[in-house]
Structure 1
């Protein structure tokens, strides 16, 4: 192997974190993201060596192929999630996860998301079609040109631009995505304090009248099978969860996409709680209780 070959291998392997961050935001779980990245590398190394050497930008090639792999996975994921027990939520990851801070793109290419709250974004992305999600994540999050995205989704550049526009409209229709990170963190702290203090009135006051709570137990642990809606119902549900686990605490923590609360009892992690905030009030509460989606937090 020549020095040039070594340099190419190093350059290609150096994109792994970038690809993992991209696939995670498209697919919503670390396991699915890792499988997509592995398949991307399999396709790279299966290429004829002369074809690999002819690739001008390994990052661009790998990004396009990862996008195609994720597009295929998203098509089958909808059927799998229809069979999922209860509500399905994206997997929260700690700030120290391998993909933390991975999107290393020019700030000028970060079109819309500098002020977005990531947990809300991941949930909203679930409402997009597979093609919309791929176009949005590649362009708005990772700054990929539309001409390259068009190759991924198999459409013209103009049609791909429309996909991203449609996705952007749906994403920003969610009020929590217009909340600045500092305001989101402040409300999250107040939410944790009110819940931990068992103060029903204070908790209700922080909740939007139409707040929605979704809990993901995956059929492995007890969780609400359907959304809980309304300030009073959500507040009572939360306080009921804490009452059933005397001594449970809500511990502030950082995820790769913003502040979260760790629900612990006797030192054991029970779940990860995220909130969506709009106009100073909590509009969404997401609680991931599925043990399979908490493994990354074991050392936190």
Structure 2
């Protein structure tokens, strides 16, 4: 059964029956973390992912769950369709965004980092690559690569034939593979690079930064037009190091950097005079930092102190 032909509940035997409502609620709660992860990977925004979950819940409460054979698949399908609709709306929003746009960072539990597949799928580096896909390509890629959803199910969710979905998946995978990190880095390796970066940041050590930054490093900063940030990505170790020493490390207020786990990977939470000022996530390859993702937009930092549970299953 697909969502478009979903059974609706009648006035007599539907919401009046507490058992049916309880069953629907239990199913939604059981899969909520999965549905949030699906929506977040597709949207890159916590606020939009939460809105999609609310829309999914409202749609789900109209369904006769007794006629649903696979609750997980059904709920993922609803979430996918709502996310795809929202992705198309977000595209216009991002076109009007001031400066570079970065995904909203998530505070994640340490066990997310231990799940290599999950940590890689929600990493800031990969999430930024997903921004280069079309809405349909992104949805297909996320469902197939991160959640191992079958082509037939994806086809039903996006309204295309299985053959078309296979082609889209192949094209999206090739596109992402050409841009994603070339190696899997352990949390310890990422943490070591981050610690070196932190020491150089706090001491404004230009040479220390040059030692930990790869020559082709790219820094992307997101202030959303509210906080100061680079108007475009900065490329090259020398330029990035000078920007950090002359900008981030030269704050007029007391700046502290605390280690945290963002999107399943080690990151720094920056505070200015005790107030949250930004988050710096990194991409590491061969022991050096190849990507720095600096989120300062206050609207994207409202949930950075509350852990959000994620799962691929």
TM-score, normalised by the number of residues in structure 1: 0.88
Distance in structure 1 (CA, Å) of the matches to 2:276 and 2:140 = 35
Aligned residues of 1:116 and 1:177 also touching (Cα < 8 A): no
Aligned residues of 1:260 and 1:275 also touching (Cα < 8 A): yes
Match of 1:188 in 2: 194
Match of 2:243 in 1: 237
Aligned residues of 1:117 and 1:181 also touching (Cα < 8 A): no
Distance in structure 1 (CA, Å) of the matches to 2:179 and 2:203 = 29
Match of 2:43 in 1: 27
Match of 2:99 in 1: 86
SS of 1:189's partner is helix
Match of 1:292 in 2: 299
Distance in structure 2 (CA, Å) of the matches to 1:134 and 1:150 = 11
Sort the Cα spacing of 1:17 and 1:89 in 2 relative to 1 into closer, same or farther, 3 A.
Answer: same
Distance in structure 2 (CA, Å) of the matches to 1:275 and 1:251 = 14
Aligned residues of 2:129 and 2:179 also touching (Cα < 8 A): yes
Q: What is the Cα-based RMSD across aligned positions, in Å?
A: 2.4
Aligned residues of 1:132 and 1:163 also touching (Cα < 8 A): yes
Match of 2:206 in 1: 200
Aligned residues of 1:277 and 1:283 also touching (Cα < 8 A): yes
Match of 2:68 in 1: 55
Match of 1:155 in 2: 160
Distance in structure 1 (CA, Å) of the matches to 2:299 and 2:77 = 29
Aligned residues of 2:120 and 2:264 also touching (Cα < 8 A): no
The count of aligned residue pairs is: 287
Distance in structure 1 (CA, Å) of the matches to 2:263 and 2:151 = 26
1:257 to 264, 267, 273: 264
Report runs of 4+ in structure 1 exceeding 6 Å deviation. Answer: none
Distance in structure 1 (CA, Å) of the matches to 2:209 and 2:62 = 56
Shift of 1:190: 1.7
Q: Does 1:120 pair with 2:125?
A: yes
TM-score, normalised by the number of residues in structure 2: 0.84
Distance in structure 2 (CA, Å) of the matches to 1:115 and 1:78 = 24
Unpaired stretches in structure 1, ≥5 consecutive residues = 102-106
